[in-house]
Amino acid sequence: MRRLVTALVVAAVAGTVATLAACDRTVAGGSTDGATVFRAACASCHGERGKPPQQMAAQLGVRDLTGAEFRARRDRATIEGQVRKGSGNGRMPGFEGALTAAQIEAVTAYVLTLGD
Ligand code: HEC
């Protein structure tokens, strides 16, 4: 059951990302405000302010972006790479093509402020 739920969530989000990519980069209306992009593209898994809902953490292994452990090792290049390529295990989709370069830069800068 847990695997099924995980697969369904990933498939749903991957579908959304693909759809968004197909409709010519319209995530958050093309906004380059980091918080706005985060709400539109990331909050469904990571929560509005980077702290994932318990269910997402438990079922999908979503990381807490406000936690001390992540904040101690976060840097621009790692976050940007994660956003572009997603997680190697397929639980987080890559956003390359779905978000513009400016949106990726903005959301990366926003993630660097989470938990402050
Ligand atoms: C489908 C749910 C989902 C969405 C949508 C999603 N993520 Fe993730 N994210 C995850 C999961 C699951 C992980 C943990 C992956 C792993 O196990 O390596 C993760 C990990 C991360 C990490 C690495 C955390 C660490 O501990 O190193 C960052 C940074 C991140 N996400 C940022 C984002 C940003 C920014 C967005 C929006 C552009 C986003 N995520 C959208 C599910 C998601």
Look at residue 84 and tell me whether its pLDDT is greater than 80: yes
Rounded Cα–Cα distance for residues 2 and 35 (Å): 30
How much is the pTM? 0.86
3-class secondary-structure state, position 52: coil
3-class secondary-structure state, position 22: helix
Q: Predicted confidence band at 81 (pLDDT cuts at 50, 70, 90)?
A: very high
Closest C-alpha to ligand 1, atom 34:
42
What's the pLDDT at 33? 98
Which of 1-5, 24-28, 63-67 has the largest mean confidence? 63-67
Q: What is the DSSP letter of 86?
A: -
Ligand 1 mutation pick, 82, 103, 111, max ligand atoms within 8 A of CB: 82
Domain-by-domain residue ranges, the chain? Answer: 2-113
Q: Predicted confidence band at 26 (pLDDT cuts at 50, 70, 90)?
A: confident
- CATH value of 2-113 in 1.20.1300.10, 3.30.420.40, 3.40.50.1110, 1.10.760.10: 1.10.760.10
Closest C-alpha to ligand 1, atom 29:
79
